[in-house]
A and B are shown apart, each in its own frame.
Chain A
């Protein structure tokens, strides 16, 4: 079982999509970066809130689920491109796999992701849903 700090440390990002932007090159990074991979030490990293609207770049439908996700299978995992090109790996929910396609617009929603066993931390974060 993991220590709770491992989860609360990520609350700004996983609850509110707080990433970073380098004001030298204007690239947006999510999750936050400590050094801009383009400008490195010449860059200037600042907090940046993503608006949670994006486009589905690719996806898979998971039938063999990992530990703790068994009851959710089959579920859709995808890569979504957000503002400024930042990309996230996320579940796509509230839709049937046959209605999902590359390029469809999606938006972030706040959901329970999993729990750390019967008496452990319940953890939350973003999932994405089709924009209708």
Chain B
């Protein structure tokens, strides 16, 4: 198996981008990544594109062809392109497909991208589409919403481990603070614990400021075989671990409501491949679609013991400058969550961190970073470990 490196990254602003269509978002991010890598279109062997639901969000399927076309690759080079779907983990899983394509020796230079255009339909339609990541026949049919699934995990975590409402809020406060330093973040505004506790209830115990927003955006990475990486850049970032796992699609069928075993198993596989342990990670981007999700993530990744995620957050362990800084980009909460793009944006942030280019939010001396991307309420998860 060949080693793989990331040689270029690019990202659009994450926001409600009413002027920009899906096809333009991905081209804008792609241009940045390709210029960052210093490659030409002709050198690209294949594209893997994470996207949850262009069909529902913009009434467009077959977007692999569309994106190859609008990237100027289809007519000239007939570049193979594949769309990858795993709900909110689509981006991370697309990245893994690119890694495998290069590791296998089939391709040398591959694009892993993610894009979601969520504001072309009314918010009620957007939230309906997001809820299709849950079991449509046995969860949402009975009135469950996506926030309510995470609210049920939060309730159980509070019940079992004494996690407090304030500790949940502290995740949002931290991530908003980090987001202020990320020019691509949707929200660049600090909030207080009080702001979170006084925001409207969405699904009790979760409130509006516990939830990641609805976002348009795209992110793109350029990967190549590690042996040719230095031809393109002096600062390649190596993909040393990749882990992917599934769990039952319905939350109620899981053996635990406070552990996402898809994340636990994906992490175990990624750590094994990288031959490292959780304590070796210097910086992590984790899937904080809701505040409780970041608390579960830092436990499932082994950064803290199960049940101690709330306390660790309160003690500042996950802040920039803490023992294991989590979500320096602002996470999904502040940077925004264009679902298919999120997993790629996490990789982009880790690459910036490992190249020491994360101005204002840099984790000093970071050498090993981790990206944790979850699909649905935990039906899938994909984890990558990168090293400079």
Contacts and interface: CB of A to CB of B under 8 A. Distances in A.
A64 B152 contact: no
Contact of B203 (A10, A64, A114): A64
A89 B156 contact: no
A68 to B, nearest CB: 9
A25 B147 CA distance: 35
B252 A60 contact: no
B360 interface: no
B153 to A, nearest CB: 7
Contact of A60 (B124, B204, B253): B204
A63 B257 CA distance: 22
A127 B140 CA distance: 13
Interface in A67-113: 67, 69, 72, 74-75, 77-79, 87-91, 97, 102, 113
Interface string B255-293: 001000000000000000000000000000000000000
A58 interface: yes
B257 A79 contact: yes
B127 interface: yes
Interface string B106-139: 0000000000000000001001100100010111
B251 A62 contact: no
Interface in B123-171: 124, 127-128, 131, 135, 137-145, 147-149, 151-153, 155-156, 159
B365 to A, nearest CB: 41
B142 A113 contact: yes
Contacts of A125: 141-142
A105 B377 CA distance: 26
Contact of A77 (B124, B131, B152, B257): B152
Contacts of B200: 63-64
A79 B205 CA distance: 15
Contacts of B251: 79, 89
Nearest to A14: B141
A75 B245 CA distance: 33
A65 interface: yes
Nearest to B248: A37
B180 interface: no
Nearest to A87: B252
B348 interface: no
Contacts of B206: 60
Most buried by A among B131, B145, B201, B250: B145
Nearest to A9: B137
Contacts, number: 100
A64 B147 contact: yes
Contacts of A131: none
A59 interface: yes
A89 B252 contact: yes
Contact of B156 (A62, A77, A102): A102
B202 interface: yes
A58 B159 contact: yes
Contacts of A102: 155-156, 159
A63 B138 contact: no
A97 B201 CA distance: 14
Contacts of B151: 60
Contacts of B147: 60, 64
B145 A66 contact: yes
Contacts of B155: 58-60, 102
B203 A60 contact: yes
Interface string B187-205: 0000000000000111111
A87 B142 CA distance: 14
A89 B141 CA distance: 9
B128 A61 contact: no
A125 B159 CA distance: 29
20 contacts: A31-B138, A57-B252, A58-B153, A59-B152, A60-B155, A61-B204, A63-B200, A64-B202, A64-B203, A66-B128, A66-B140, A67-B128, A69-B143, A72-B143, A77-B152, A79-B152, A79-B251, A113-B141, A114-B143, A123-B141
Interface of A: 10, 31, 57-67, 69, 72, 74-75, 77-79, 87-91, 97, 102, 113-114, 123, 125, 127
Given A58-B257, A66-B127, A114-B143, 9 more contacts: A60-B147, A63-B204, A66-B140, A77-B142, A79-B252, A89-B251, A91-B142, A102-B155, A113-B142
